[in-house]
Amino acid sequence: MGMATPRSDTPFEALTPDRRRAMTRQHLLEAAAIVFARHGFHGATLDEVSATAGFTKGAVYSNFAGKDELFVAVLAAHFSARVEVYEQLIVQGDTIEEAYRDVGRFMAEADRREPAWAPLLLEFWSHASRRDDLRRIVVAQREAFLEAIAGVIAQGAARHGVRYRIPVHEVARASGALYRGLTVERMLDPATVTPDHFAELHAAFLTGLQETAPDAAPS
């Protein structure tokens, strides 16, 4: 049987050098996420990342300056995926409290699905805090993520007629701090905080930051 002739109007994207580099970088990021989760930041090696990705170590260094820069890129991809999920969840609930619960439940369930992520993040932030150059990079990345989350929170607030006592950027920071605090509790005792428990805590905490009642029209 001969090979089928493709239709002339079928879209075909040539594997250009730029596209090949982008695919290699994405493959390295996915491999790095696996290796970092498996061994932690300090235990992970670029040799294992390159082997897991199926490339030479030189491919890692042609895309990233070193392990710090590689992890920052993994972290950026993680933050971007979280923002997309929160954007979907914030518009689903009929009330702002339901949206808070949906986000809280997702956060807790994601933590249970990826138990290595929270310890890994804390390990890297602790590492970055001791190096001013890296700390500044991580702070800028974190603030950009919080600004994106603040935009999502503002969308929900506008939809439900809610205002907050503090800027939405700080509401986003407080939500993340609550999540990480409870995650540390779960690191020691996984039964401490269930997704439903966290959903209620998250809703109660953010509701307490509101300036106006839920679903009330803004003045």
Cα–Cα distances (Å) from 169 to 146, 183, 201, in that order, read: 6, 21, 20
* 82 lies in some domain: yes
Domain containing 51 equals: 19-64
Structure tokens that stand for 160 in this block: 């439900």
Is residue 50 a part of any domain in this protein?
A: yes
How high does pLDDT run on average in the chain? 88
pLDDT digits (tens, 9 = 90+) for 96-110: 999 999 999 998 888
Domain assignment present for residue 216? The answer is no
Regarding whether 161 and 174 lie in a shared domain, the answer is yes
Alpha-carbon distance of 65 to 61, in angstroms, equals 6
- Which residue is it, tokens 């932690």? 40
For residue range 40-52, list pLDDT tens digits in order: 999 999 999 999 9
**Cβ atoms < 10 Å from Cβ of 106:** 19
pTM surpassing 0.75?
A: yes
- Please, what is the angle between helix 96-113 and helix 168-188, to 10°? 40
Question: Are 55 and 112 part of one and the same domain?
Answer: no
Structural domain count, the chain: 2
- 201 and 136 share a domain? yes
Q: Is residue 3 part of a domain?
A: no
CATH number at residue 57: 1.10.10.60
Structural domain contains residue 30: yes
- Whether 151 and 162 map to the same domain: the answer is yes
Pick from 30-34, 169-173, 178-182: least confident: 178-182
Q: Are residues 101 and 184 in the same domain?
A: yes
